[in-house]
Structure 1
Amino acid sequence: MNLFAEALAWIFSPARLTGSLPLPEAIVQHLAYTFGAVAIAAVIAIPLGYLIGHTGRGREVAVFLSGAARALPALGLVILLVMLAGVQLKTQAAMTVFVILAIPSILAGAYAGFEAIDRSVIGAGRAMGMTQWQILFRIEMPLGLALLIGGLRSATLQVVATVTIAAYVGLGGLGFYMIQGLNTRDFPEILGASIIVVALALVLDGLFALLARFAVPRTDAPRPRRVRSAAAPVPVPSR
């Protein structure tokens, strides 16, 4: 309990606003790496997932590649790419790894959202004379949005936790304090940085949960009025 109190004191210490890497700057760096990686992964994975979900082709290949990407050791891959690309391209190397980690969840959310749609709804759209593009934009994309947001949510949480390894190659972020604390055996610093990462993950998770709630299409229809049955006796007013 004392360690937890010391970690909170470390977080709110005025000394966190100064030094080689102030805490607000580290948080901004951490979020920039996270959102940048998820945005790039979304540009790649969402169109591919929509293509798979719309055509029904390539799902097995996507599942295999997604599983292989999830099995990659992130830290080892970052160090390997930095060694291959050089120190000058270490930011691009680290971002490549984060994008690779984010793609599987977004890809799965994109095509799973299409697969979850009732086929009768799509059949009704075709019966009304809709083209393939109209079915895609007016039926499949709106109805599959909730699962896509779920995929973005999973990818963001995975990346925000993994970005801490960026500090191993000198890219800052909240992992900087963890590595510094390990070197100096400053456990409140390690725990304090970890608490901030957890807090960021919880805030982002809550935002995506709220977004997913509003993304679900409303299907509730007005209830019909109750009609008195013809067989029911009609009360006769008494004189």
Structure 2
Amino acid sequence: MDSIGNFFSEYGALLFEKTWEHLFISFAALALGVIVAVPLGILLVRLPKIAGLIMGIAGVVQTFPSLAILAFFIPLLGIGKVPAIVALFLYSMLPILRNTYIGVKNVDPNLLEASRGMGMTAFQRTTRVELPLAVPVIMAGIRMTAVYLIGWATLASFIGGGGLGDFIFDGLNLFRPDLIIGGAVPVTLLAILLDWILGKLEKAATPLGIRLERGEA
């Protein structure tokens, strides 16, 4: 307990700062991933001839070692938060893109045909039929990605991006278990908390009819 108290007395203010840096990097990458991957996933449903190619490219990028991607962006973007966010954004693409594509593609064709019969435009069918029905699958991808990004964001420390990874890697370099724990425990707690919050958001965003069918309402 004394070591914990000493850690907070010595690094309390810095821990708060690094936590916010960590959240900023993670959420910036997640926001970019959602902004790009969700519309792209919807578009790919309309373009089945190239959907396999795009999904394959996204899958290949996902297999690249994270440190290699971070290092790749250093000559292009330098060091700091920007290359870290860009690299994490690339990693966030595949789960969100895949879930959006699957969710929209699996919408009941009979419902789409009924919406056409009601005179809905393509935009209205997308926003009022396809997206609401695909929300549970899309949110599952976003939720999984967000939790992953919290962990991956620790690697931003390697290129001067900051975050809680600074504590972890400083602890490894200095043989300081207290620094390692001081970085690893908040990362774990953030991931658990974010998963719980997004789980609640996923349930709230799911149409009532789907929740009743699942017995969740």
> TM > 0.5 between the two?
yes
Matches within 5 A, 1:1-239: 9=4, 13-18=8-13, 22-82=14-74, 84-85=75-76, 87=78, 89-219=79-209, 220=212
1:137-176 alpha-carbon deviations (Å, 9 max, x no partner)? 1101111112111111122112111110111122210000
SS in 1 for 2:208: coil
Q: Per the alignment, do residues 172 and 47 of structure 1 end up closer, same or farther by CA in structure 2, a change over 3 Å counting?
A: same
Structure with greater helix percent:
2
Q: Per the alignment, do residues 215 and 110 of structure 1 end up closer, same or farther by CA in structure 2, a change over 3 Å counting?
A: same
Q: Provide the rounded CA distance (Å) in 2 between the counterparts of 1:73 and 1:6.
A: 39
Q: Per the alignment, do residues 72 and 132 of structure 1 end up closer, same or farther by CA in structure 2, a change over 3 Å counting?
A: same
Q: Per the alignment, do residues 11 and 154 of structure 1 end up closer, same or farther by CA in structure 2, a change over 3 Å counting?
A: farther
Shift in Å at residue 29 of structure 1? Answer: 0.1
Q: Provide the rounded CA distance (Å) in 2 between the counterparts of 1:65 and 1:157.
A: 23
Q: Per the alignment, do residues 172 and 126 of structure 1 end up closer, same or farther by CA in structure 2, a change over 3 Å counting?
A: same
Contact 1:178-1:190 within 8 A present in 2 as well: yes
Q: Provide the rounded CA distance (Å) in 2 between the counterparts of 1:36 and 1:15.
A: 29
Normalising by structure 2, we get a TM-score of 0.89
Q: Provide the rounded CA distance (Å) in 2 between the counterparts of 1:80 and 1:180.
A: 23
Unaligned segments of structure 1, at least 5 residues: 222-239
Q: Provide the rounded CA distance (Å) in 1 between the counterparts of 2:129 and 2:93.
A: 24
Query: What one-letter code is carried by the residue in structure 2 that aligns with 1:39?
Result: A
Shift in Å at residue 199 of structure 1? Answer: 0.5
1:170-193 alpha-carbon deviations (Å, 9 max, x no partner)? 221000001110111111321231
* Residue number in structure 2 paired with 1:232: none
Query: What one-letter code is carried by the residue in structure 2 that aligns with 1:16?
Result: Y
Query: What one-letter code is carried by the residue in structure 1 that aligns with 2:200?
Result: L
Contact 1:10-1:188 within 8 A present in 2 as well: no
Normalising by structure 1, we get a TM-score of 0.81
Q: Provide the rounded CA distance (Å) in 1 between the counterparts of 2:187 and 2:57.
A: 28
1:69-128 alpha-carbon deviations (Å, 9 max, x no partner)? 21011112212321x1364x5432222111100111111121111122111111111222
Shift in Å at residue 135 of structure 1? Answer: 1.0
Q: Provide the rounded CA distance (Å) in 2 between the counterparts of 1:76 and 1:175.
A: 17
Q: Provide the rounded CA distance (Å) in 2 between the counterparts of 1:79 and 1:67.
A: 20
Q: Alignment length, in residue pairs?
A: 211
Q: Per the alignment, do residues 56 and 142 of structure 1 end up closer, same or farther by CA in structure 2, a change over 3 Å counting?
A: farther
Shift in Å at residue 28 of structure 1? Answer: 0.1
Q: Provide the rounded CA distance (Å) in 2 between the counterparts of 1:55 and 1:119.
A: 16
**Identity across matched positions, percent:** 26
- Over aligned residue pairs, what C-alpha RMSD do you find? 2.1
Q: Provide the rounded CA distance (Å) in 1 between the counterparts of 2:167 and 2:41.
A: 37
